[in-house]
Structure 1
Amino acid sequence: MGSDTGMIDRWRSLSSCYHAVACQLERELQDDHDLTMSEYETLDRLIGVECEKRRMQDLAADMYLSQSALSRTVARLEKGGLVERTLCQDDRRGVFVTPTEAGVRRHAEARRTQLAILAQHLEPQPAHA
């Protein structure tokens, strides 16, 4: 029973930390960069890969969003000129998402905000030898 209590306490601490960080990220990304956290995460997943062009289904598999929520998020980013969608030439059902230059710039600006917030809330982990 004692180990259960410790595990539950750790979970509550982790959950509280996550929600504090997520709420601040959502607020500041929206206020400073006109991005929701989901929009920022989508850009971050696109820009964090070598080719910067991903199939929607692969992007959805890496994220916490459902396929329909991701589709709505990408539609907002596309409307804002931050990403482009193109059909896959080999498979007409496939859709690629690529960040635009404006999307790359907006992500770089928002990344500074994300890193500042993470630094406020998360202690650096000690380096392993």
Structure 2
Amino acid sequence: MTPTREGELTARWRDLLACYHDLSCALDRALQERHGIGMSEFEALDLLVDAGDCKFRMQDLAAGMHLSQSALSRTVARLERRGLATRTMCENDRRAMFVAVTDTGRDLHALARPTHRSVLAEHLG
């Protein structure tokens, strides 16, 4: 790889990181201030609400959110403490855990969704 090409790739990478950092901070700040929920909690609710009445396997939710299993467990625990989601064991595989959104979680998601989408539009639109 030529030094010029390497420099271009590095600059693009740094621009991407800066964009992600700015957007995630703006999302976290707006969601926390207006709805008392962090970006990770909102993203989990967003995926759960999009699933309809289905339950998500924890590992599938982790993959959709690009979080480690432990980071997702902490996120889901916060949702569970607030009554926004529930966790249940899989009847067929005791190692598997399912997550589902509650009605309270759906209500909070409905209130926070416009804030989330507004911040996205402001930074990406």
TM-score by length of 2: 0.89
Question: 2-side partners of 1:105 and 1:119: how far apart?
Answer: 22
Question: 1-side partners of 2:123 and 2:65: how far apart?
Answer: 22
Question: 1-side partners of 2:78 and 2:66: how far apart?
Answer: 17
Question: 2-side partners of 1:10 and 1:69: how far apart?
Answer: 28
Find 2:31's aligned residue among 29, 32, 44: 29
Structure 1 residue 74 displacement after superposition:
0.8
Question: 1-side partners of 2:65 and 2:37: how far apart?
Answer: 17
CA-atom RMSD in angstroms: 1.4
Which residue is 1:83 aligned to?
85
How many correspondences in the alignment?
123
Which runs of no fewer than 5 residues in structure 1 stay unpaired?
A: 124-129
The structure with more helix, counted as a fraction of residues: 2
- Equivalent positions of 1:103-114 (< 5 A) are 103-114=105-116
Letter aligned with residue 107 of structure 2: R
Letter aligned with residue 57 of structure 2: R
Is 93-102 or 8-17 further displaced after alignment? 8-17
Question: 1-side partners of 2:97 and 2:52: how far apart?
Answer: 18
- Give CA deviations for 1:80-124 in whole Å, capped at 9, x if unaligned: 01001112111222211100011011112211111101111113x
Which residue is 2:75 aligned to?
73
Structure 1 residue 30 displacement after superposition:
0.9
Structure 1 residue 78 displacement after superposition:
0.7
Which runs of no fewer than 5 residues in structure 2 stay unpaired?
A: none
- Give CA deviations for 1:14-49 in whole Å, capped at 9, x if unaligned: 111111111111111111111111111111121222
Q: Structure 1 stretches (4+) deviating beyond 4 angstroms?
A: none
Find 1:119's aligned residue among 118, 121, 124: 121
